[in-house]
Structure 1
Amino acid sequence: MSTIALTPMLGGLRELPPLSLYVHVPWCVRKCPYCDFNSHEVKGGFDEDGYVQALFADLETELPNVWGRPVRTVFIGGGTPSLMSAGAMETLIQGLRARLRIDPDAEITLEANPGTFESDKFKGFRDAGVNRLSIGIQSFEPAKLASLGRIHNGDEARRAVEIALTHFDNVNLDLMYALPHQTLVQALADLDTALSYGITHLSAYHLTLEPNTLFAVQPPANLPDDELSADMQEAIEQRLTEAGFEHYETSAFCMPGKQSRHNLNYWQFGDYLGIGAGAHGKISYPDRIERTMRFKQPTAYLKAVAEGAPAQSRSKVARAGLPFEFMMNLLRLTGGFEARLFAERTGLPLVLIEPALREAEAQGLIERDLTCIRPTLQGQRFLNDLLTLFLKE
């Protein structure tokens, strides 16, 4: 993995990390009650051509901050970006390539929901340059989908997978477990259905009642208790291991060599431009690391873009906060990370967090040698407790 060399600065970065691009499309057919992402229900459609041009204008405000740096991956998320037409997607990807040094073999992921699947449309996405799909299946069981407020049913979920695999070799399926009224048998049945298609990547998420969601205000009834939820997690992990999948991140599983390159860059504390309504970004400079956030409401975002100032906030990550931010990402990786990455990505010496590392090791939450630091199985299960140790630093 190549990087751009810099003149060393005291307390700064010697090299810039790899760079990715995140593009946010904020519209959905319907807002799911568990969703805490920046998504807004479509009412009468949206001006996709106008939004694409706004994305270009947004990107151009950031170009001076990343000029000359290659872009390794692109992720088009939402919302439901698969609501866009294939023609608009082609215009978007061509415009991004015209403005950025996107690698010829870059991983370009599109998030999609089963309720938006049409075979010709997804062939058009592939022709436009998308080479990886991430599909929000959540469950194949109609009653569970209804309890989650999804707009698709079980048959549409199956059809979506079939269409995706017709046009794409690289497909991720999102599944949820610990759903209302769900049994262990039902959770594993969803998993077995997903595996029956021969997929190479799967994300398995525990249903969480996030703040500022409808489920937080009106929790669904008959959620599995902690013991049953833990049994589901362990059974899912075991079934996937038996199927040849590697558990490489807290919620991510893949066949060998099929990791999400874009998400790995997040988890390895790489850089990413974030454009679109509500998008977040992280950009490193020789002497600082900055985080950016776009305006969330689409109308406010479009107005800000028109005024030439799409970023609602741009803030420097405090030196004292860098260890926690780094560990919050890297300790999600079940295989851990090379110890040298701490200094490379933060500009700080590893000795700075030695007290926290020793305490984590004493509690059985990490294990390490001269080159690698990794969470133990207990550290993976109690990740928040592990991260708290670095928050103290």
Structure 2
Amino acid sequence: MNASFGNALILVVIFELVLTAILLIFANPILKIFGVTETSYPYAFEYYRIVALVCLFQGLTQVFCDFVRVSGKPVMGMCVTGIGAVTNIILDAVFVAVMGWGVTGAAWATVIGQIFSTLFGMYLVWNGHTRVEIKKETFHFNFKLSKEIVFCGFAFWIAQMAMGLISLVYNGQLGKYGGDTAISVYAVVASIMTFVIMPASGISQGIQPIVGNNFGAGNYKRVMATLYQASAFSVGITCIVWLIVMFFPEYILLAFGATEEMLKVGVVGLRNNFCITPILGFVMLVTTFFQSIAKPIPSIVITFLRQILLLIPFIYLFPLLWGINGIFIAQPVSDALALLLSVILVVREKRHLYKMLPALPHRKNDAQLATAAKLENV
């Protein structure tokens, strides 16, 4: 774990500094690509510039949080990010409402929150609250290990990059077929989707240390049992949001200040977009599952197909058949195909793991180990 932490930290510092340089050098084209208008440009640029300068701390926070979590302290890992979020909220009120710093104050509130998270995570790691032991050798760069780290995280990187790309594609197509009203409806869809993604993502991250440790110990039945139990839990939570959207789409839209025109497009749009949402909890778990057992290729394939190779063409093709409703149907169709692929890959992996069980040496259970330890001390 020491070498993994050291190399992950080195990689994050390198990539975040490169990212900062890119963001600052190409600020104008990046802001224009994301649709910043001439009116909002000064405010957007000010916020963008401040946050880009110190995006290193966001990356460091993620590293510290993950290593605290995999050390068997998920609550402390949550505190690492939670401290930054709470600090951000408090400073937003102080800087914006009290001191009147506007966008600049909001940017600095975000930055200071990230710095606080980084410092707390650093404190936990450097003071022995994790399994990481800080030594000089910890930060010895290992190209092979770094390559594996990058490869295992590649699926998550694709998902994050795809989110930005997909937003641009959605906005372009929705503007073409439904104008500003359709774009406003998609903003509601994206907001509600966070209530689906966040719990599913949290459960996915939660199973990583359990799956990884049991896989390393050769306890493959527990690996699969963890996936099954987490899947039931994730799909169950996702069903709550799904039921609310299916039965109360009008109330959701009205809560976001929808007009009569938005309701005409939004009620059907929400139901179409969320029609098979519960399966998303399983698909997200599967991508994390393969990363946890050091097999990132299936995760990369599922993520790339679902978020890019299938979804983007569907967004362009389906409106030709079903108009604006076709845009909202694109996501569930892509998710359904990703589910089919996920099930096939999980079944194949299960068969492979169970074939390996007879070849493993006999492992003593906890009771046998405890008895042996007592006998040794007699």
- Compare CA radii of gyration and give the structure with the larger one: 2
Same fold (TM over 0.5): no
TM-score where L is the length of structure 1: 0.26
Structure with a larger share of its residues in strand:
1
TM-score (normalised: structure 2): 0.27
